[in-house]
């Protein structure tokens, strides 16, 4: 019961922000232009600030996190590559396949994962949670974007792809954060506080944008949500369970194992939604999965907490 209440307490505020955005759009207080403005803020300011702020909290105190990084990296990469056989078997469109690179691999390990792990395991899990979050962000913004780019309708232009990656603010923020950590750079307090202010704002901004998007589009029939429900079950239960069976007896540190599995079962994150808008992917499908998986996580997260102990 305690795990269930913890999940509700963590997830409900996120859902309420989505509802607020939906109400604003349905009452015509917000228009479609808001989505573009809010998402650009998130992609160019909010998310980069969040990435840097998260990475700056890492403390490389000599403890080995190699196994943690490799284990999560292998899982993320495999999940991304599953988009190819799934798209081939079910004859999915190129747009859906490109969306699957995001849908199958990136859970809400920052906004939802870190608070859940912190509440469940205390301060000792924070370095592990931060590293897992950084690993997810790194692969999403490198391999994930590369796969989206090279599988697009346009003919692949390697020079254009490299230039696009080099100016991507999210990817640049990953390298900036890692540079600060590895070289132990101490930023002026005023700069740190500014970064923190921006990073704290992005969750509400993107969730509100998501609510506006849902409010401006038809809710759809029940069958229209079946695909979103199917992918939600796959990412919340099926893939994490296979992952759990694969690593539970590998001798991995107990706390790292628990954090890894619980994070792998997080609902679809907000960054994929923002990226789906930027790259003109299946935005409706992605947004539905974000909402539906977040609701289902109220039940699923406590289940995983009980399973991993």
pTM as predicted: 0.80
Residue 113 has pLDDT above 70, yes or no: yes
pLDDT recorded at residue 121 = 83
pLDDT tens track for 166-218:
777 877 887 888 888 888 888 999 999 999 999 888 878 878 887 888 788 77
Task: Look at the chain and report how many structural domains it folds into.
Answer: 1
Q: Which domain holds residue 25?
A: 2-304
Tokens 């609701």 sit on residue = 295
User: Is the residue at 280 inside a domain?
Assistant: yes
CATH number at residue 58: 1.20.1530.20
Cβ neighbours of 90 (radius 10 Å): 10
User: Is the residue at 226 inside a domain?
Assistant: yes
Q: Which comes out higher in pLDDT, residue 141 or 258? A: 258
How far is residue 279's CA from residue 272's CA, in Å, rounded to a whole number?
10
pLDDT grade for 110, boundaries at 50, 70 and 90: confident
pLDDT recorded at residue 198 = 92
pLDDT recorded at residue 156 = 64
User: Is the residue at 6 inside a domain?
Assistant: yes
Cβ neighbours of 61 (radius 10 Å): 6
Contact 14, 112 (CB under 8 A): yes
pLDDT tens track for 39-80:
889 888 987 888 788 778 776 665 678 899 999 999 999 999
pLDDT tens track for 138-173:
898 889 988 998 887 666 667 777 777 777 787 788
User: Is the residue at 26 inside a domain?
Assistant: yes
Buried b (16+ CB within 10 A) or exposed e, 128-163: bbbbbbbbbbbbbbbbbbbbbbebbeeeeeeeeeee
pLDDT tens track for 221-253:
787 789 999 999 999 999 999 999 999 998 899
- Where does the chain show beta strands of DSSP type E? none
pLDDT recorded at residue 59 = 66
User: Is the residue at 309 inside a domain?
Assistant: no
pLDDT recorded at residue 60 = 63
Q: Which comes out higher in pLDDT, residue 6 or 82? A: 82
How far is residue 35's CA from residue 43's CA, in Å, rounded to a whole number?
12
User: Is the residue at 298 inside a domain?
Assistant: yes
pLDDT tens track for 280-297:
899 999 989 988 898 888
pLDDT recorded at residue 62 = 56
Residue 1 has pLDDT above 70, yes or no: no
pLDDT recorded at residue 191 = 94
């Amino acid at each position: 019961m305690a795990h269930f209440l913890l999940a509700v307490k963590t997830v409900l505020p996120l859902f309420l922000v989505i509802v607020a955005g939906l109400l604003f759009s349905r009452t015509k207080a917000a228009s479609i232009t808001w989505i573009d403005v809010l998402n650009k803020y998130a992609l160019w300011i909010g998310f980069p600030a969040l990435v840097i702020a998260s990475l700056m909290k890492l403390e490389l105190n000599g403890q080995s996190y190699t196994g943690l990084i490799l284990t999560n990296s292998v899982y993320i990469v495999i999940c991304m590559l599953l988009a190819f056989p799934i798209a081939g078997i079910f004859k999915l469109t190129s747009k859906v396949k490109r969306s699957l690179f995001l849908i199958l691999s990136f859970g809400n390990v920052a906004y939802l994962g870190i608070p859940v792990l912190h509440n469940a395991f205390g301060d000792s899990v924070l370095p592990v949670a931060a590293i897992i979050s950084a690993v997810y962000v790194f692969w999403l913004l490198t391999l994930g974007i590369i796969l989206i780019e090279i599988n697009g309708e346009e003919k692949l232009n390697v020079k254009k792809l490299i230039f696009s990656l080099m100016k991507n603010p999210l990817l640049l923020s990953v390298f900036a954060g890692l540079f600060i950590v590895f070289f132990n750079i101490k930023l002026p307090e005023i700069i740190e506080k500014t970064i923190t202010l921006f990073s704290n704002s992005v969750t509400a901004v993107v969730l509100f944008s998501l609510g506006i998007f849902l409010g401006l589009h038809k809710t759809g029939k029940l069958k229209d949500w079946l695909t979103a429900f199917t992918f939600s079950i796959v990412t919340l239960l099926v893939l994490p369970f296979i992952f759990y069976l694969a690593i539970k007896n590998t001798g991995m540190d107990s706390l790292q194992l628990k954090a890894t599995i619980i994070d792998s079962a997080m609902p679809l994150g907000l960054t994929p939604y923002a990226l789906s808008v930027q790259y003109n992917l299946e935005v409706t499908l992605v947004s539905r999965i974000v909402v539906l998986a977040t609701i289902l996580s109220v039940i699923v997260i406590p289940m995983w907490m009980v399973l991993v102990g």
